[in-house]
Amino acid sequence: MRILVKLGGTLLDNAESRLRLAREITAAATPDRAITVVHGGGKQMTRFLAERGVQSHFINGLRVTDPSVIDAVVKVFKGSVNADLVTAFRAAGNLPVGISGIDAGLVDAVILDPQLGQVGKPVASDARLLEVLTAAGYLPVVACIAGDADGHIFNVNGDQMAVACAASFRADHLFFLTDVDGVKGSDGSVFPSLTIAQCRELITSGVAAGGMQAKLEAAIDGLLKGVGEVWIAPGARPGIVASLLAGENIGTRIVR
């Protein structure tokens, strides 16, 4: 079984939260379960820039990334955020290896929109590095930075990064652990499960918008590229990883 866990939001911003999740993911790692972790860090990025007097600008929810910002992206995502998470996994008894999409061509990207600068859209993923690491008992911890064969660096949406890695890694499960309880309907109740068609209807009707729309679009993309199933679930809930693996009715399960 192959599992990819995407961590984001406030889950990464608190040492206690990082350690709890690291312990849960470590406990889930057995000889027959290969696990890879992908992380974002948008909140930390915004704070890092603000502390240096740089205001963040967004277009359709994506951060405009000029040369000065891409330098900060590398420092924050591949630097402090990745290091904090790797440290938490070490403390949990794991053997984590901090990498990014740049390493060994794990994820290549192209410019998504010239207005956004160096924001990339993943176009290819080579999971051989993930295969080598997991087969040897290591835990890849992947920062959401991509590259290309010409040496460019791209800031990539964390959900899209997770899908690119999950598809090439041939993941059976993709867990989006987030700050929300799951995908909610217009009445505020959480859907226990959704199909691709139902996800598209939620997007078209405007019920799913903003960050949730992005997650559903990423989930659809992952399923169409061969990922077994996708869960959008509350990462702040203790025991969430074991609960999802046990098939408990938590969050929203999305299937083909």
Query: How would you classify the pairing of strands 96-100 and 139-143?
Result: parallel
- Cα distance between residue 47 and residue 102, in whole Å: 24
pLDDT at 62: 82
Tell me the torsion sign for CA atoms 43, 230, 223, 25: positive
Q: Residue 147: what pLDDT? A: 95
Low-confidence ranges of the chain (pLDDT < 50): none
Cα–Cα distance for residue pair 162/169, rounded to 1 Å: 10
Specify the CATH number for the domain of residue 170.
3.40.1160.10
Give the domain extent around 166: 2-255
pLDDT of res. 16: 94
Q: How many domains does one find in the chain? A: 1
What are the helix and strand counts (H, E) for the chain?
Answer: 9, 14
